[in-house]
Structure 1
Amino acid sequence: MKLALTAATALAFAICATTASAGVVISEQMVVNNQGSEQKTEQTVMVQGHKQKVINGDEEQLITDLDAGSIYVITPKTNQFSQLTIPPVGTLAMKMAMEGSGIALKSTGATDKVAGYACQDYAGSLILVHHDISVSKCVASGAPGAKEFVAFQQALADKLRPAHLVPKGKVPDGIPVSSTITRKVALFKPPPGFPPAQAAKMNEALAKFKPTIITTTVTKIEVKDIPADTFVVPAGYTKKEELKMPGFMLGKHPAAPAAPAAPAAPAAPAVPAAH
């Protein structure tokens, strides 16, 4: 009896150890449609514990290490990397914001099935830096590795919250098996006293810009132990400083078109800067 109990205890510890070390690997296809030009990219998201690695084609890799408080932007083609703090500032922070990281998602009540996984629809939108951004996701709570994925997202949200990069409310409970980000130039809202004819002319020009649409669809989800060196910058890579140039996109995501210059108008009251 004692031997049987010892064996059962050992088996239980082994199962717990395996579960604790398990990671989740999500294979995705990303399609970016910018001004009528379509670009497809294979993307892989790996999560284990407090670490995440995103591989976007052969252009860029992003490692997020919550314990180290760092984000590493890796460029394999040049054997270079940048090390950023969490929460990020500057270019990466704007990139995340423009991809909808601060949008509060609410359940629409609708359901779907993607890659064999039942999922629940969420949606949300906001206007940021003259862009109208909307996000929709179908989240699969029953997908393998969902608990590990959500645990990381919640821990990341806690780290990002001071930078206002996360919305109020809970992280959706599951893995997004499909998502669509639609970003378009927001229509001009004239201040008091602005000539209506000029405002109409501006909005007519803005309406001609096609939106940028980023669609991501999961093709496979695997639960397995991920080697620790997966989340480490490869040896021999050179560290570079983050570019402080205007703009919000890194890697292969195209930027939205610039809005046309506004015609001369009467002075308007000052508007607080967005944050």
Structure 2
Amino acid sequence: MSLKSGLAAAFALALATGAATVSAGVVISQDVVVSDNTAAPRTDHQTVMIQGHKQAVIEGNREFLSDLDAGTTTVINTDTRRYFAVPAGMLSVRLIWQGSFIELKKTAISEKVAGYACDDYAGSAVVAHQNLMVTKCVARDAPGAREFVEFQKAQAARLKRSPATPEVQIPDGIPLSSGITRTTMPFVPPRGFPPEQAARINAGLARYKPVTNITTVTKIELKDLAADVFAVPAGYTKGESREMTPHLVKVAPKNPAPPGTAGSPAASPQH
């Protein structure tokens, strides 16, 4: 092989390698254990797929598709073959309930999950009369960490105009394990509120036990993802926005805000 042809081959290989790096996506398989202390814990499986500014999250018969460049998020119900557009404000609330956009501080604890070393972060916030305690073990060197963090930062930049989305520092890596504990806060009556009624409200709230979600990564893969992974399948029908709520209730609190109070979803970080 001549020097000229050898250089050309090396250059072509470099271009191909670079293209593969740019186009590679990350697929994260997770187990989610949900417990509210009233029944046996339930384990769900979900898959998160990210490539560039697109993300697909598969949760059973539901899929959440986000395209940051197009500024859209779509919920798909594979059972009914219907899809729904998600407003930015509702997406912000969903992400907050999942522990995103809550300020986390690095602790002195390090662990190993799914074969990768990770550092523990912890934080809390008050969200709609619920106290959210969040922990994450974040791996900087896990495969796909750069792609994952870039998407999270781009998504936060897109949503930061929403009053429900506080601006926080995003940990640099993939959370290999995370825990969210949601506890109902007591009702603090305003001045002049009947004490008997306040007591009844708090007695009702006391029936709601803490809800805990523990998410653990079981596998991480790097692969090129086809465009249809992030698209609504052909033949699906667009549904009305009012039909979308049942697809988001899994991330909402089980109990409503106490009567006479404002049920704002905005988070107030507690450090």
Aligned to 2:255: 257
Local SS of the residue matching 1:243: helix
CA deviation after TM superposition for structure 1 residue 11, in Å: 1.4
Q: What residue in structure 2 maps to residue 89 of structure 1?
A: 89
Residue range with higher mean Cα deviation, 115-124 or 232-241: 115-124
Tell me the equivalent position of 2:17: 15
Give the Cα separation in 2 of the matches to 1:129 and 1:138: 26
CA shift, 1:74, in A, is 0.1
**Is this contact kept in 2: 1:178–1:215, CA < 8 A?**
yes
Measured after TM superposition, the shift of residue 259 of structure 1 is: 5.9
**1:219 match:** 218
CA gap 1:248/1:125 in 2 versus in 1, 3 angstroms: farther
Residues 1:238 and 1:271: Cα distance change in structure 2 (over 3 Å): closer
Q: Which residue of 2 aligns with 1:114?
A: 113
Q: How far apart, in 1, do the equivalents of 2:20 and 2:168 lie?
A: 31
Which residues of structure 2 form unaligned runs of 5+?
267-271
- Identify the residue that residue 103 of structure 2 maps to in structure 1: 104
Residue aligned with 2:240, SS: coil
How high is the TM-score relative to the length of structure 1?
A: 0.85
- Secondary structure of 1:18's aligned partner: helix
| Alpha-carbon distance in structure 2 between the residues aligned to 1:175 and 1:5 | 38
| Fraction of identical pairs, as percent | 48
The residue identity in structure 2 corresponding to 1:13 is: L
Q: Measure the CA separation in 2 of the matches of 1:72 and 1:225.
A: 22
TM-score calculated relative to the size of structure 2? 0.86
Secondary structure of the 2:126 match is strand
Distance 1:273 1:70, change over 3 A: closer
Cα distance, 1:201 vs structure 2: 6.7
Quote the Cα distance in structure 2 between the aligned partners of 1:100 and 1:249: 18
Mapped to 2, the partners of 1:248 and 1:139 lie a distance apart of 31
User: 1:225 deviation in Å?
Assistant: 0.5
Partner of 2:47 in structure 1?
44
Structure 1: gaps spanning 5 or more residues: 263-269
Paired position in structure 2 for 1:32: 34
Corresponding residue number in structure 1 for 2:269: none
- Secondary structure of the residue aligned to 2:86 is strand
CA distance in 1, matches of 2:113, 2:166: 25
Shift of 1:66: 0.7
Q: After superposition, where does 1:232-251 map in structure 2 within 5 Å?
A: 232-243=231-242, 250=248
Alpha carbon RMSD of aligned pairs, Å? 2.7
Shift, 1:191, TM fit: 3.7
Give the match for residue 133 of structure 2: 134
The answer to whether the Cα contact below 8 Å between 2:128 and 2:263 also exists between their aligned partners in 1 is: no
Contact 2:164 2:265 in 1 (8 A): no
Which amino acid in structure 2 is aligned with residue 101 of structure 1?
S
Deviation at 1:166, TM superposition (A): 4.1
- Is this contact kept in 2: 1:101–1:166, CA < 8 A? no
Cα distance in 1 for residues equivalent to 2:33 and 2:202 = 28
Distance in 2 between residues matched to 1:273 and 1:212, nearest whole Å: 20
Q: Residue 24 of structure 2 contacts residue 222 of structure 2 at CA under 8 Å; is this kept in 1? A: yes
